[in-house]
Amino acid sequence: MGATLSLGSLLAAELSGSPAWSGMAATMSTLGAAIAAVPLARLAAARGRRLSLSTGAFIAGTGAVLAITSALVSIFPLLLVGLMLLGAGSAVNLQARFAATDLAQQGTRARDLSIVIWSTTIGAVLGPNLFGPGETVGAFLGLPPLTGAFAFSVAAQLAAAFVYLTGLRPDPLLAAMSIRDTSVQLPRARSGTLILRQNPRARYAVAAVALSHATMVALMSMTPIHLREHGASLVIVGFTISLHIAGMYALSPVFGWLADKAGRLRVVLLGQAMLLASLLTAGVAADSRAAVAVSLILLGLGWSASVVAGSAMVAESVQIQDRPALQGISDLTMNAAGAVGGALAGPVLAWVGYSGLGFLAIALVAVVVIWTALQTSALPPSRKPAET
């Protein structure tokens, strides 16, 4: 996904004839992930994780094929459709973390979820390094320039679908639904929006994940532009973003373990503290490349802690029959919040600069902190030390 999204922006500029369209690559992929989130969750509820995740992977593979085809026939709208379908791969990656929670025990649910998130580190590191090999393979296969990595994506999505179909046995969600007291009739599954209206705990968890994601996307997406405007080379920009990605994923098992031991809310607050430190550093020392790098590392760590703990709360705030619907609406909200955060960050950067962006984004952190404090005060005294 990382390789094809980066090349997608270059391919979009080439096929459209204008660099102004390059941003549509990320936009269409995010849109595709948001659109796919709820249908894939509904499919999981009806037929299980195996079919849902493998179907999403097949859709993403089809999107990669369409992207290659668009370059062969030089049709820009076809590329946009391909990138949107490819976004289903992102939706699958998000929902895979919830598959790890279906049969997890209460004391290890956050840890199990975080291991799936951690595996993204491998792809995030390898992805950008596939540019060169992808072009070599593409040339060998007779593909147009900038499309070789999409051929890798086709192979990767088919391999992922195979792993889901063969590895998820028994299906974790279906198995979890069957492991219950059969004498107790479960209520009918509710829609994700209905759950959010009726369940304050679920509403908080979804909001914490979405707002943390929006904060991360807003600052991260504008950092390359800020660094380039201040004379940083592409090497420096790439290294800074790599440090940020490492912060997002590499330590997620640590935050999962902490969430299981110390409680979800405490780890959400820890994440918000790191996000706050990141935004303050960006606001105060925007002219220092070293400070910006530190800010991006903290930004990734804060995102990781908040999303791991928040996602664990999403998984356990409702009964098993309602989990897929809530998880789908959570991923939809997360993607939508990220898209809005990235879209608004550009005008804010032009208006008040990188420092102003950092300071203004503190408002998002403040919402989560206040809401978390209200959640903590609402817990019974016996559950406050290490609540679930």
Check pLDDT > 50 for residue 262: yes
Q: What are the structural domains of the chain? A: 1-179 (1.20.1250.20), 188-376 (1.20.1250.20)
Give the integer Cα–Cα distance in Å for 179 and 157.
31
Q: Per-residue confidence at 379, pLDDT binned at 50, 70, 90?
A: low
Q: Per-residue confidence at 210, pLDDT binned at 50, 70, 90?
A: very high
Stretch 212-223: mean pLDDT = 90
C-alpha dist (Å) from residue 32 to 38, 202, 356, 370: 11, 24, 31, 32
Q: Per-residue confidence at 53, pLDDT binned at 50, 70, 90?
A: very high
For helices 24-47 and 2-16, give the axis angle rounded to 10 degrees. Answer: 130
Higher pLDDT, 185 or 150: 150
Stretch 106-112: mean pLDDT = 89
Q: Per-residue confidence at 186, pLDDT binned at 50, 70, 90?
A: low
Give the integer Cα–Cα distance in Å for 132 and 148.
9
Higher pLDDT, 322 or 334: 334
Check pLDDT > 80 for residue 203: yes
DSSP 156-212: HHHHHHHHHHHHS-S-HHHHHHHSS-TTSPPPPPPPHHHHHHH-HHHHHHHHHHHHH
Kindly report the pTM of this predicted structure: 0.83
Stretch 163-183: mean pLDDT = 83
Check pLDDT > 50 for residue 248: yes
Closest by alpha carbon to 3, among 91, 121, 134? Answer: 134
Check pLDDT > 60 for residue 387: no
Mean pLDDT, the chain, as a whole number?
Answer: 87
- Report the run of H or E that residue 52 belongs to, with start and end: helix 49-73
Stretch 57-73: mean pLDDT = 95
Stretch 19-42: mean pLDDT = 83
Higher pLDDT, 363 or 380: 363
Check pLDDT > 70 for residue 128: no
- How many percent of the chain have pLDDT more than 70? 92
Q: Per-residue confidence at 380, pLDDT binned at 50, 70, 90?
A: low
Check pLDDT > 60 for residue 88: yes
Stretch 166-192: mean pLDDT = 75
Stretch 325-354: mean pLDDT = 88
Contact 186, 291 (CB under 8 A): no
Contact 249, 118 (CB under 8 A): yes
